[in-house]
Amino acid sequence: LYDSLSSTRKNEAFFYGALENSLISNCKLPKCTYGVILHASSKVTVECCDFSNSESGITIVGGSENVIRGNTVSNCDTGIDLTNTTNNTISENVANNSTGNMYPMNSAAISLRSGADYNIVEHNVVCDCTGVAPISSYYGHHNIIDGNMCARNKYGNYGGYHGIITNNYC
């Protein structure tokens, strides 16, 4: 359990490594290169955290069955980024003012990259993103993007292969 941690200095990352059956909650982490980086992590919940002015708020590489819920990710290049991970749920987050790397299919406020398959992205608010898609599953497979509110963004949502995009407001 990682609860109510905060930092005001420039850090490389709050947490970097593999976790299982863990909770990261109520953390405030501005100005990190990366807020949270999880490698090969399973059944980790990141909830009610605030990540701002960072390259990436939450990054998950490998693992499965993680829950990213109720976080605020603002003024980051990429807000929430998944690669080579399956069966995750990303819900009820607010991601705004993402700038990305000017390639909407590669970097988004919520980005499902290569090998990010069978994930659910639902009920998020993604606004005011410049140069990136609000939600991208460009390289992911069989992802569900449902019920998200995406407003004042330069691009629309990008789908993936054999996935579902439904009931979003853009």
C-alpha dihedral sign at 49, 121, 44, 15: negative
Residue 1: predicted pLDDT? 55
Residue 2: predicted pLDDT? 56
| This prediction's pTM | 0.89
Residue 18: predicted pLDDT? 87
| Bridge partners, 164 (sequence order) | 144
Residue 140: predicted pLDDT? 84
Q: Among candidates 118, 128, 119, which has minimal Cα distance to 149?
A: 128
Separation between Cα atoms, residue 102 and residue 139, nearest integer Å: 16
Residue 6: predicted pLDDT? 57
Residue 122: predicted pLDDT? 97
- From first to last of its 170 residues, the chain has per-residue pLDDT tens of 555 555 555 566 666 678 999 999 998 888 877 888 899 999 999 999 999 888 888 999 999 999 999 999 998 888 899 999 999 999 999 999 887 765 555 568 898 988 999 999 999 999 988 767 788 887 888 999 999 999 888 777 777 777 888 898 88
Q: Among candidates 36, 51, 47, which has minimal Cα distance to 95?
A: 51
At 92, give phi and psi (nearest 5°).
60, 30
Cα of first residue to Cα of last residue in the chain, in angstroms, is 36
Residue 121: predicted pLDDT? 96
Separation between Cα atoms, residue 161 and residue 164, nearest integer Å: 9
Residue 7: predicted pLDDT? 55
